[in-house]
Structure 1
């Protein structure tokens, strides 16, 4: 049996944890990664240049159990209408779109609409629903019924939809012939024609894990993370760690260059093409581990061709968060967020030692400072993006809302030394750092926010920033960002509970979605807060609505939240429970006025189970809400309900058979 670096990841983590607790074993030191403010990338000049360097880098970071995978938190501001209203402009559309971070930059979600039709993907089936007739007019099964659990999202442009399957684990959708390498997580993207009966035009399977995607106009950028595909020799009984390490290093140093090259397969018109990113299309920082690659694929949904094999570019770096504007794509990572393998100080290979030879003194374990690397790509041109520059800031991001580009600067909010990220709560604090968007060099910063706490939500609106930290109460900080070189806290508001998502709520208003909590920090239920932020020096709470014993998907996925400023409606899925049992999932509809929040009511889907006994039963819990004209459309795995936007009276039920 042979052990792959990919499949050895879990073993590596378990072994490293065991090492820290076993007497007589060497302590693990962190990999050597330069985390200065500048992390500029350079491109390889050839495959020989790449192979010589990346072999050595990876060998320096291999452990006796394999190459430890980077571990990162999953990772998210307003709809076009909400953004326009916040700026004082009147929205001109009669339907809501996906709640996204930046106006004009679409994000993948499980439902899309163009005002004439709703396109959804759930339980492995894509459906097209006509708004006027309220009928399902097109259905396309994408995966076999027994694989209906596969998570998928959508992006659309005109009569084309891109279906994004995340981490398929080698599972191949119907009609696809491509296969990922053994042990690969695999990410599959399907291009679907919606002009008639839905049909698959092409499928691309990328060898790696889907990170995220952004769409500007009809152009989509897909970000995929992959690890080297190197087969390591199997361990033998009673083999010392030094021998295991030596064998693994030898395997890495003998691996061919294509072990690192991110590969992908395209199936179109019954023809399968296997390809990989070219060496000259891969960049790397001066210091890197060689344990992961970030690849950006480009596809134009309006073009005649399908997937282009010449479009991808890669960076020898890790990545967990994607943020996009109309002109820039940012990918961030934290190289320290992983199980730390053994450091190698003597290259090339050391002389083998017998297992009972005295060891050199182990290096003193250290906890490296957390820093987040930021890579920026220019996406203004057609085709592949252009790498611009890289930089880094202290601490770790919460999600994409921790990033905001404005007036030539990038604002980044992070938490340092949080217990969530391996530190102690007592030493944690947060800050906002301003970088020049072109060079990603430091411009200014404000730190010391929420000492002993961590960030729960961030929102940047123009020259003002809002940061929520939480331990037992919810300090909402207002920041003045007009002077990038000297950002400062202008106001602070402490209330119970916290907001995990912040949304513009009209002129001088801010909405917070989160949880109410006791004085000890115990959560009580979903809380929607309305803040008066017209005076940044003195933010105030206007109104709070609490639904006890409940939680909402919108707390961790803002795509689930809708704010419709024309009527002041706010909608979000709500899961309620009694004791230890879930009672059901509904859509909560609220009216947000200048002076407060009022409950309009709840929308529920029929409770009949339409499951067929397959592995993935149908869930009638509501996941998304869409406003179209004077109606609210709610989406679940079991179907679509149309409700009156004023009275919430039922208008139609469209079951997904």
Structure 2
């Protein structure tokens, strides 16, 4: 069994019992990524196994294989109990690579190396004891996973090298997951947000091929995908913001997105660049949103006198008819209905 030389603590607290002590356990072996369901906690860590030779040479690069070790813990009224261990080939990108569904554990991994053209992408399904149950291997050879999202029996996966394939995978039969549909478009999504059962928003980057046959990254790209027909997914809307160098924390941290379909609004932090990587906006973009479309509603910035440091908007929330934006230096309140700024609070 693979053992990492770190320690991992689990601390369980029963919030309904004010006098009980926390359940604290310490394990030899760390973790890279945590996924938590209603009933279980999964800790995953990458295992790189190298094939070292007795005689090393300057031209020898040891072969290695990668796998992901998964530790399962049951959550029981403040107690966290070790419940199993499993292992699958390849590595994951983040917590959205894992999911618990109908007493099974699903995980999306990439094996091999893009630079060697040996990479492949896979879905593995384990039973409740983390024993192998089913798998779908070998998707998008030569590419790697950029984002994954599980929704009911479906898995949505985005891989990328020169174009962005969106895969729709059916796991209703956990012993035989099946590729149902695929869509190839320019660019790639690093985060997929579920709008409803048939629509997904993708946030990532636009790309184009350069004169040498490689790929260059452009502005930030928002895509709306319609997966009503799983065999023929469609990109129904796309918007590209800024030029190369445009960035949002949302691309790598989903907590930066404020999204409410009931309210019909979404917002996220954005640093926008124009030609020659010149920054021309730092703040937040606010959109009207429905289950099949979005439109720009407002832009909000805390930056004054070109002083960006400390004024970058990091989080956005709403309460009632008001939108609250937060940076290190201040909080602003805007009316959702009129877009007007209502008040601000400087943070010292």
TM (norm. structure 2) is 0.90
Question: How far does residue 407 in structure 1 lie from its aligned partner after superposition?
Answer: 0.4
Question: How far does residue 304 in structure 1 lie from its aligned partner after superposition?
Answer: 4.0
Whether contact under 8 Å (1:584, 1:621) holds in the other structure is: no
Question: How far does residue 316 in structure 1 lie from its aligned partner after superposition?
Answer: 2.3
1:619 aligns with 2:310: yes
Q: Are the structure 2 counterparts of residues 628 and 316 from structure 1 closer, same or farther at C-alpha, using a change threshold of 3 Å?
A: same
Whether contact under 8 Å (1:545, 1:597) holds in the other structure is: no
In structure 1, distance between residues paired with 2:181 and 2:281: 39
Q: Are the structure 2 counterparts of residues 341 and 653 from structure 1 closer, same or farther at C-alpha, using a change threshold of 3 Å?
A: farther
**What is aligned with 1:82?**
none
Question: How far does residue 481 in structure 1 lie from its aligned partner after superposition?
Answer: 0.9
**What is aligned with 1:21?**
none
Whether contact under 8 Å (2:242, 2:273) holds in the other structure is: no
Q: Are the structure 2 counterparts of residues 595 and 333 from structure 1 closer, same or farther at C-alpha, using a change threshold of 3 Å?
A: closer
Question: How far does residue 291 in structure 1 lie from its aligned partner after superposition?
Answer: 2.0
Whether contact under 8 Å (2:261, 2:291) holds in the other structure is: no
**What is aligned with 1:373?**
69
| Aligned counterpart in structure 1 of residue 92 of structure 2, from 391, 394, 397 | 397
* Segment of structure 1 superposing worse, 559-568 or 372-381: 559-568
SS at match of 2:63: coil
**What is aligned with 1:598?**
295
1:516 aligns with 2:211: no
1:416 aligns with 2:111: yes
In structure 2, distance between residues paired with 1:512 and 1:582: 24
Question: How far does residue 522 in structure 1 lie from its aligned partner after superposition?
Answer: 1.2
Whether contact under 8 Å (1:544, 1:597) holds in the other structure is: no
* Segment of structure 1 superposing worse, 596-605 or 291-300: 291-300
Q: Are the structure 2 counterparts of residues 640 and 316 from structure 1 closer, same or farther at C-alpha, using a change threshold of 3 Å?
A: same
**What is aligned with 1:644?**
335
Deviation per residue, 1:240-284 (Å, 9 max, x gap): xxxxxxxxxxxxxxxxxxxxxxxxxxxxxxxxxxxxxxxxxxxxx
1:294 aligns with 2:13: no
Deviation per residue, 1:367-401 (Å, 9 max, x gap): 23110000000012333x11000001110001000
SS at match of 1:335: strand
In structure 2, distance between residues paired with 1:563 and 1:381: 31
1:461-472 equivalence runs, <5 A: 461-472=151-162
In structure 2, distance between residues paired with 1:425 and 1:301: 51
Q: Are the structure 2 counterparts of residues 650 and 371 from structure 1 closer, same or farther at C-alpha, using a change threshold of 3 Å?
A: same
In structure 2, distance between residues paired with 1:546 and 1:479: 27
1:211-250 equivalence runs, <5 A: none
Structure 1: gaps spanning 5 or more residues: 1-286, 344-359, 611-616
SS at match of 1:518: strand
1:525 aligns with 2:216: no
**What is aligned with 2:346?**
655
| Aligned counterpart in structure 1 of residue 234 of structure 2, from 507, 526, 540 | 540
Question: How far does residue 495 in structure 1 lie from its aligned partner after superposition?
Answer: 0.5
Question: How far does residue 362 in structure 1 lie from its aligned partner after superposition?
Answer: 5.3
**What is aligned with 1:22?**
none
Question: How far does residue 570 in structure 1 lie from its aligned partner after superposition?
Answer: 1.8
Question: How far does residue 428 in structure 1 lie from its aligned partner after superposition?
Answer: 0.4
SS at match of 1:396: coil
Q: Which has the higher helix share?
A: 1
SS at match of 1:427: coil
Question: How far does residue 527 in structure 1 lie from its aligned partner after superposition?
Answer: 0.9
In structure 2, distance between residues paired with 1:425 and 1:559: 34
| Aligned counterpart in structure 2 of residue 635 of structure 1, from 326, 342, 346 | 326
Structure 2: gaps spanning 5 or more residues: none
1:326-475 equivalence runs, <5 A: 326-336=38-48, 361=55, 366-383=62-79, 385-419=80-114, 424-436=115-127, 438-475=128-165
Q: Are the structure 2 counterparts of residues 311 and 377 from structure 1 closer, same or farther at C-alpha, using a change threshold of 3 Å?
A: same
**What is aligned with 2:24?**
312
Q: Are the structure 2 counterparts of residues 425 and 570 from structure 1 closer, same or farther at C-alpha, using a change threshold of 3 Å?
A: farther
Whether contact under 8 Å (2:51, 2:62) holds in the other structure is: no
The structure having more radius of gyration, on CA atoms, is 1
- Using CA pairs under 8 Å that are at least 6 residues apart, name the structure with larger relative contact order, 1 or 2: 1
Question: How far does residue 580 in structure 1 lie from its aligned partner after superposition?
Answer: 3.6
In structure 1, distance between residues paired with 2:124 and 2:51: 30
**What is aligned with 1:125?**
none
SS at match of 1:389: strand
Question: How far does residue 602 in structure 1 lie from its aligned partner after superposition?
Answer: 0.6
SS at match of 1:393: strand
Question: How far does residue 521 in structure 1 lie from its aligned partner after superposition?
Answer: 2.5
Whether contact under 8 Å (2:147, 2:190) holds in the other structure is: yes
In structure 2, distance between residues paired with 1:653 and 1:576: 23
1:493 aligns with 2:188: no
Question: How far does residue 583 in structure 1 lie from its aligned partner after superposition?
Answer: 3.5
Whether contact under 8 Å (2:283, 2:303) holds in the other structure is: no
Deviation per residue, 1:285-312 (Å, 9 max, x gap): xx34562222212345665469x5x732
Question: How far does residue 425 in structure 1 lie from its aligned partner after superposition?
Answer: 4.5
SS at match of 2:176: coil
1:79-118 equivalence runs, <5 A: none
In structure 2, distance between residues paired with 1:302 and 1:379: 15
Whether contact under 8 Å (2:220, 2:247) holds in the other structure is: yes
